[in-house]
Amino acid sequence: SVLLGTTGVKATVTAADGQSGLASDPSGTVAIETNTAGPKTVQRAAVDNVGHSTTTSCTTQVQHSMTITGTIKGPLTVRAGQAVELAPGAKVNGKVKVEAGGSLDVEEASILNALGAHGATLIRICGASIGGFLNVSGTTGPVVVGEGTPGCSGSTISKFASVHLNPGGVTFVGNAVLGGLGVIGNAGGTTVKDNTVSKALTVTGNSGTVVDRPNSVGGHSRIQ
């Protein structure tokens, strides 16, 4: 098993045929997706030169190091090497801080104050309520704040939201932001759509494929 958000996890495939040789050789390494928790199966097939084939697979369990289901009365700090899930119904009464090397998955939970993350390995926020600002920067893996799917709906953010300088891709879909929203200088592809932003929306300086509409905006828009 590996922790959620762990980077560079790969399965090694080795195939050989000492008689006819291989017409299709799957040997090599295959990346294992660690952006969500659960079993991840890699399957590959080899075919020899006379038409025989064989298929094999391996399964890796991606898990959290800690799952929080109740109420935390004070602040929460996610430290390097931790992969924390705020499970449905969980509540944090203070601020949430994700330090460099930490990973946070918020699933239909409540944070009554701000959420700040710098240098995390992964940030995933689905169906949450955030009572303060949201500030996410330098995340090495994906940043997901709503995907517009039943498994990851949008969240409500009571103040401004800033998602900037994240190299691993950004998805920000279906959220209600009661302040302004800035999605700036990210890489790896950026999708910002179907959000309701009460004040200004800025989507600039992002590299890769950028989708920045439609959104409902109460202030000025500056988009790519």
pLDDT in tens, 69-108: 999 999 999 999 999 999 999 999 999 999 999 999 999 9
**142: closest CA among 191, 213, 82?**
191
pLDDT band at residue 172 under the 50/70/90 scheme: very high
Pairing status of strand 22-24 against strand 38-48: antiparallel
SS3 8: coil
